[in-house]
Amino acid sequence: MWVFTEDGFYSAVMYRDNPDYVIVRCRALADAERLAYWHTARNYPVEVEVTPTADYGWRVTMLRRNWSNYVAESAANIGYTNFKAAIAKLNPDRAEVYADVWATLLDIQRPVFEVKTYKVPKE
């Protein structure tokens, strides 16, 4: 699961050794630290693991329910009408990266709207 929040970009996967846990992988240390801070402030202490030879440089292992709480609270606290603009105010460099992701994902939508005219079947 990929999640983009005002705190950062996260890639969450099930922890192989215990399905009650997830590993949340991060591309930026600051994102991992914000996630760890959110959890620790709610008495769900977690640690940031540095993984410089892996595809994601930082990982945070946590209970699945705590990850779910983070995602739910992030959704409940949305206070913007445009996510890209909100990120641009927080971090213009990151906003450019997110805009690239947005543009790439637009390729999924385009073929849907390039479909030829539909014909209504006759009864």
Residue 17 shares a structural domain with residue 4: yes
Q: For residue 85, what pLDDT is reported?
A: 96
Same domain, 60 and 7: yes
Same structural domain, 86 and 74: no
Q: 90-121: per-residue pLDDT in tens?
A: 999 999 999 999 999 988 887 666 655 556 67
Q: Is the pLDDT of residue 78 over 60?
A: yes
Q: 109 is in which domain, residue-wise?
A: 79-114
Examine residue 119 and state whether it is found in any structural domain, yes or no.
no
- Crossing angle of helices 64-76/29-41, nearest 10°? 100
Q: What is the pLDDT of residues 24-59, one digit of tens each?
A: 999 999 999 999 999 999 999 999 999 999 999 999
Give the per-residue pLDDT at 110: 72
